[in-house]
Chain A
Amino acid sequence: MADWTELDEALADYTDSCNNNERLRKMQRDWSRVLHFICSDNDVRFSMHVDRGEILSTPVGLDGVPDIVVTTTSETFCDMFWGDLNPVQKYLRGEITVKGSQEDVMRLDAISYVIWPDS
């Protein structure tokens, strides 16, 4: 089980990878969303504010009204944000659950795919 410190470290790396990827920024130029993440195995919850493809902040707690809510274990979140797992495989096995539009779910996976095509 990962705690907030580990998740925060993973999120910092993820934010850096996203914001410095030119192709991803271009692809997500019209994507502004608020995401909520809920760890199913502990009480950790956090948010992500994305503005035109740029991740602005990843505060702890559920901040704002979400467009997407992602729920899975803290370990899966950590591995996902470090690019060490394929989120689609987890999603299709029902181990990651998402609330939000199909388009947003695909965009979320597209981020991982563009940053880490070998994941």
Chain B
Amino acid sequence: MSSEMTLRRSVGTAAATATSAGLAFAAIDYLGVVSILAYAPGTTAVFAIFIGALIVVLVSAIFSELNGLYPTAAGIRLYLGRAVGNRTALSVTFTYMTTVVLVIAADAFLIGAAVRHVLHEPSALAYVWIVVLLGLALAANLRGVRLAGWVQTIVTYTVLAGTSVLSIIAIFHVGGAFHQPFNLFGGGSFSGIQAIAFALFLYAAFEWVTTTAEEARRPQVITRALFIAPALIWFVSTLFALALAHLVPYGVLHGSATPQLLLGTRALGTVGEMWMLALTVLTALNTFNGGFLVASRFMYAAARENNLPRPFAKLNNNAVPWVAVTSLTIISGIVAALVFATGQWLMLVSVGAAIECAIYAVGSFCVVRLRTRVTSERPFRMVFARPLASFGVVLFSALFLATAFADPKNSRHFSAVPFLVIAVLGVVSTLYVALVVPRLQRAASARTAQRRPTRRPPRPGASPEVAQNDPAAEERP
């Protein structure tokens, strides 16, 4: 067997599935279910979540094909670069990475709000909890503390199983009632589409498992994870939505940042509340571990590639890019504080859902484009790739518009705020790539021209002048 197949530590299907599900199932997913309930009331939400799961099968196929082509943590840069050019790829990737900041900020806010709620503290103390949580995450990251793979796997399956069990208890709890079954388009056809778009958000970020492709035992491991993890999330989210619809009136959920605690309390009293608080805190382990790792390493690589200022590549004595990690923490803290001050936590769901739909549309486009441009063998090939991926471009673009103009609290209102937030992020990314990156690249070229001569000795017979004055040794054929 070749050495590529026998890494000492490699990731199998169960661990990859846990990584995928753990990245997707964050504390904000509990709020995501509330957003679906706003558009698909009562048990109707279950149908939206199911249709969302069917659409995610298409997303799984798209990312399986792209991951098979470029099985690397840098995959998104590579397939976007090949499909739409390097500059656009960089703009899209920068925008995409802002979802990581949103999820970290959302989890910091939601866990702070949950702890404050359980301890019956004044609401302003949520700020303190946000700072404490992010401070702990920062300290752990700067010291290079990582969750071991098996711990991450146990945490993920505990969160999924714990949420399912409490939801089942709530569903069979006496005193609740199911309302409005089989009525997905009761609020109008557009509300049904928006409900499905919000349902997609429950699965958001599951595709980030492709960044672990280099650790996978076989390419098929990531493909299996991409199909199994959404099934797990569908199962758990369905139970949670049913339980909420059964026990907690929407009027109560509407103004709450902690629907899972409300459900826990109604199902099992204080025990249920503490149960759901524990699960909420556990989700943070995955978010703060995986989110910080993905985003800070992306920033490090971008700085090393001269696409971000060089300080972002600075390493501390634990080999951690400390400027990147610290910046990420500060930005997440500011976003979390802003969300808390404005009370617009459901806006994070809208923005996150819309960005994910946009990324799925871009991914679909890449599959269409790369079927023509790249003919190399793929471990996974979509059936009917061109028509299905083309359909994906249209579908996810429509769903992007549906969420980008949705008011997540009220299905009868439109709101341009999510679209404006995304537009600002996109414009800032594009301007940065168009105006700042060329300057950074020029500065890097100037440094290269001034740097020491190449260290590699000339090959016998080669001209010494050429070898010693070659400023772009990396381009040597």
Contacts and interface: CB of A to CB of B under 8 A. Distances in A.
B459 interface: yes
B300 A106 contact: yes
Interface string B1-37: 0011011110000000000000000000000000000
A50 interface: no
Given A88-B305, A98-B214, A105-B214, A65 B319 contact: no
A101 B474 contact: no
B77 A92 contact: yes
A55 interface: no
B146 A66 contact: no
Nearest to A87: B304
B58 interface: no
B445 interface: no
Nearest to A84: B473
* Among B301, B313, B316, B455, residue most surrounded by chain A Cβ atoms (within 10 Å): B455
A114 interface: yes
Q: Pick the most buried of B6, B304, B313, B473: most chain A CB atoms within 10 A of its CB.
A: B304
Interface in A64-101: 65-69, 71, 75-76, 78-79, 82-86, 88-94, 97-101
A102 B297 contact: yes
Given A110-B315, A118-B452, 20 more contacts: A27-B317, A30-B144, A66-B6, A66-B8, A67-B8, A69-B4, A83-B455, A84-B456, A85-B473, A86-B304, A89-B304, A89-B305, A93-B78, A94-B70, A101-B214, A102-B212, A105-B214, A110-B319, A113-B304, A118-B448
B7 A109 contact: no
Interface of A: 6, 9-10, 13, 23, 26-28, 30-31, 34, 36, 38, 62, 65-69, 71, 75-76, 78-79, 82-86, 88-94, 97-103, 105-107, 109-110, 113-114, 118
Contacts of B214: 98-102, 105
B318 A90 contact: no
A34 B3 CA distance: 12
Contacts of A23: 317
B382 interface: no
A92 B315 contact: no
Contacts of B78: 92-94
B73 interface: yes
A62 B448 CA distance: 34
Q: Is the interface of B mostly helix, strand, loop or mixed?
A: loop
A4 to B, nearest CB: 14
B425 interface: no
Interface of B: 3-4, 6-9, 70, 72-74, 77-78, 144, 146, 211-212, 214-215, 293, 297, 300-301, 304-305, 313, 315-319, 447-448, 451-452, 454-457, 459, 473-474, 476-477
B212 A67 contact: no
Q: Which 10 A-B pairs have the closest CB atoms?
A: A85-B474, A84-B473, A82-B456, A88-B304, A82-B455, A84-B454, A118-B451, A65-B8, A27-B319, A92-B74
Contact of B474 (A10, A65, A89, A105): A89
Contacts of B3: 36, 38, 62, 66, 69
B150 to A, nearest CB: 14
Nearest to A29: B317
Nearest to A31: B319
Give the residue among B8, B146, B474 with the most A Cβ atoms within 10 A.
B474
Given A66-B8, A106-B300, A113-B304, A84 B474 contact: yes
A115 B322 CA distance: 18
Contacts, number: 116
Contacts of A89: 304-305, 474
A1 to B, nearest CB: 10
A113 B313 contact: yes
A22 to B, nearest CB: 11
B454 A82 contact: yes
Nearest to B477: A75
Given A84-B473, A100-B215, A101-B214, A10 B456 contact: yes
A26 B474 CA distance: 29
A30 B145 CA distance: 12
Counting chain B CB atoms within 10 Å of each CB, the highest count among A10, A82, A84, A105 belongs to: A84
B447 A118 contact: yes
A118 B445 CA distance: 11
Given A10-B456, A113-B304, A79 B72 contact: no
A79 B74 contact: no
15 contacts: A9-B457, A26-B317, A30-B144, A65-B6, A75-B476, A75-B477, A84-B456, A86-B474, A91-B301, A92-B305, A94-B74, A101-B215, A102-B211, A105-B214, A107-B319
Contacts of A98: 72, 214
A101 B152 CA distance: 15
Contacts of B146: 103
A28 B7 CA distance: 20
